[in-house]
Chains A and B, each alone.
Chain A
Amino acid sequence: MMNTDYILHLADNALILGQRNSEWCGHGPVLEQDIAITNISLDLIGQARSFYQYAAELLGATEDKLAYLRDVRDFKNCLLCELPNGDWAQTILRQFFFSSYQYILYQQMVEWPDERLAAIAEKSLKEVTYHVRWSSEWVIRLGDGTEESQARMLKAIDYLWSFTGELFTPASYETTTLNKQPWQQRVEDIFTEATLPLPGNVWMQTGGKEGRHTEHLGYILVEMQYMQRAYPDCEW
């Protein structure tokens, strides 16, 4: 049987980043980009649902129960996904780091023997391909833009970089390791085009995959789970 912790990890990544991005809804810098980022949110939440549904079948639970009734320590998403949106630079850099990772992961997953995961990966890969393209172009646009946009990108790199190591640090329940090289190469290429410096080796944060989260996740869950906890099994 497929490792359910790992499926939950995939689902939590997508759900929490989707929830984060959805905070931009109605607040995007311009109308067109407001729609773009919320489209990405919906793609991610859709992916999360596919994974939760699979995990729910294996665990004898429901997708709602897995998404809305687990607590902070049960969530297995990477820390990167739960970090605050900050400004537009921080949001798009977070998306760029994560989508580039997801792209490599799903590319491998389509070959996995688990047919269910392979199918989810195949469907999601088309979405993620666009997320990578969209976020890459924004990194270039802001990095190679004005003095202010570049300063904001540098600040975002400084804040987010130490959270990228966890993407490639296997958790106890992960049986496959992902080669970091293609990700590193992608980031290098885009940063070069964006005239942004690539950070050196720094100490990397970990813990999210094992349920040890930043202080931010609790607040996300409070907002996201409020309805289901206040009105259990509510429907509309």
Chain B
Amino acid sequence: MLNRLNCYPGSGSQRERKGMDIYLPIAGLSLNCLFLVGLGGLVGLLSGLFGVGGGFLLTPLLIFAGSPPTVAAASDSNQIVAAASSGAYAYGRMGYVDFKMGLTLLLGGIVGGSIGVHIVKILSASGSIDFLIQSVYVIILGIIGAFMFVESLQALRRRNGAPREAGSPGGEESALRKLAGRLPWQMHFEKSRIRTSVLFPLFLGTTIGILAAIMGVGGGFILVPAMIYILGIPTIVAVGTSLFQIALTCINLTLQQAIRNHNVDLVLVVLLFIGSTVGAQIGARLGKALRGEQIRILMAVIVLLVTAKMLMALLIAPENVISLVTGGGGH
């Protein structure tokens, strides 16, 4: 014989709020407020200091904290809008944003991003997109990190007496820059103090757009070294311009994610950018106080640490060989 269980609304033992936990309605989980604000602050600091969106750090950290990867990636793009616009504003006020260069890179980035999204779609059909993304991360981050580390170390050793302008990593022009000098549509980028063919930053933006879409990142950690080493832009202008470009890219990504996938968690975003906007401002000031080589070597160390962590995940046997498919995407 069955009795219908009697239920008593509102009289239960549901725990009252304790500590600082908050429910994230789109992610569908509860996390500590202070943890999220602190996480945002850390990423904002890096964003302001290095001109990167910080997604390559924040997305894995959010996933580690339990957030669904798609929500982590989408919300990340939205919080980067706050952090990057805050950082870009700070750099803009100091005159370190090359808007002409930023818009040219953005144009290339939009084209490259569209190509990249198609590549991701094809790779997703294979079912191994996570592994492919992780592998690309390890390769690209490893190359960039190692190159930056070696170059910055050499620059620090070379440094003697004469104060160098905050940024320019080397004196001699790269072969690519020389080639760009012979291409049509030469344009002067005043803030960046370079004259080059507009095709060059467009091509760079497109390449980075493709990589950024595959890797699910805004592309700052690729863009900043590329602007410094390939285009020859002073470090501090590269950082400011990168933030400007990232802010615009992430506005587009936020809208796309909200409309197509419904996975932008505003509560998560607000908590992250409470920390990240403040962190970005502090990072921007800290960036101005540091020399170009010092900024680059710090970024190189962080990039190499992330690479090492991701490499370990590919080499060490997992505790559980079965894993929930996360899909790609961060910033």
Are these two chains actual partners, yes or no? no
